[in-house]
Amino acid sequence: MELLKFENISKVFGKKELQNQVLSNISSSIKSQQFVTLLGPSGCGKTTLLNIIGGFLKPDAGQVILEGKRVTGPGPERGFVFQNYALFPWMTVKDNILFPMKRQKMPAPQREDRVQELLSMANLEGKEHLYPHQLSGGMKQRTAVIRSIAYRPQVLLMDEPLGAVDFQMRQTLQEELESIFIRDKVTVMMVTHDVEEAVYMSDRVIVMSNHQGAIAEDYLLDLKRPRDRRSTAYRQAVNHLMDTLQISSNGSESVADLPRVPVLQAINGGCHVAR
């Protein structure tokens, strides 16, 4: 079932001769409970598109539709995880998680049940009375994620959610977040520069190019979860997307404009390009 779609999105920054067309006629859609990643070179418009979907920016043309309704601004049906966690420093872990539920006027007994469920899900039991400055980077990020899904938004938007942690912690958090999303049946759109992260976490990867955010490739991953980072199919997917990312970084609007990268398939879990 199609949950979210964005149609002919265009965005220009600046005025007159200093104008920068970041996005031009970008369209796609996301199904319910699908994890979709926006991958692309710096400056291709990934975060701009995410902010338009979140309602923080207005497009110059086009529209975002969520469950048949046009998005006109921020709303509780879209959770957002920022790069810098954005936790309230004066609140404990528990109070940070409770905050959006209180804003949505969730009854107190339901709030308590939900916060305990989320703490368990994120392996944060026993940490609920700590403040953000007392947490590791990984704990802060898990707190930010479960706070964003606390009131069960229809879509979770994540902007480079693991960009501030080291490589080893990044892989551990990818696995922990994947478990949270599967258990809570969350629909996700994520921005990342990390090809490995995109392959490990996503059902689909939308590769955007430097050519005004044009979609160079919409790549469907059909790999079993939990994913084996050492498997042939996994490595093929990573290599394919690295090739596509390199092509898109050269400013080509589509991979169709360049020599073909073979479509990859593997027994018991392959990957293919969605055309």
β partners of residue 4: 30, 66
How would you class 80 by CB atoms within 10 Å of its CB: exposed for 0-12, middle for 13-18, buried for 19 or more? buried
* Weakly modelled stretches of the chain, pLDDT under 70: 164-165, 251-275
β partners of residue 168: none
Q: Which residues of 182-199 are buried (b: 16+ CB within 10 A; e: fewer)?
A: eebebbbbbbbebbbbbb
What is d(CA 113, CA 28) in angstroms, rounded to the nearest whole number? 36
Tell me the per-residue pLDDT of 29-83, one tens digit each, with 9 for 90 and over. Answer: 999 999 999 999 888 999 999 999 999 999 999 999 999 999 999 998 999 988 7
Q: Give pLDDT, residue 252.
A: 53
Q: Give pLDDT, residue 29.
A: 95
Taking CA atoms, 246 is separated from 11, 138, 149, 193, 199, in Å, by 24, 30, 34, 12, 16
Q: Give pLDDT, residue 253.
A: 52
DSSP state of 53: H
Taking residue 76's Cβ as centre, other Cβ atoms within 10 Å add up to 12
Q: What domains lie within the chain, and their CATH numbers?
A: 2-77+155-274 (3.40.50.300), 87-152 (no CATH)
Radius of gyration of the chain (CA): 19
Residue of 88, 89, 110, 109 lying closest to 99 (CA atoms): 88
How would you class 266 by CB atoms within 10 Å of its CB: exposed for 0-12, middle for 13-18, buried for 19 or more? middle
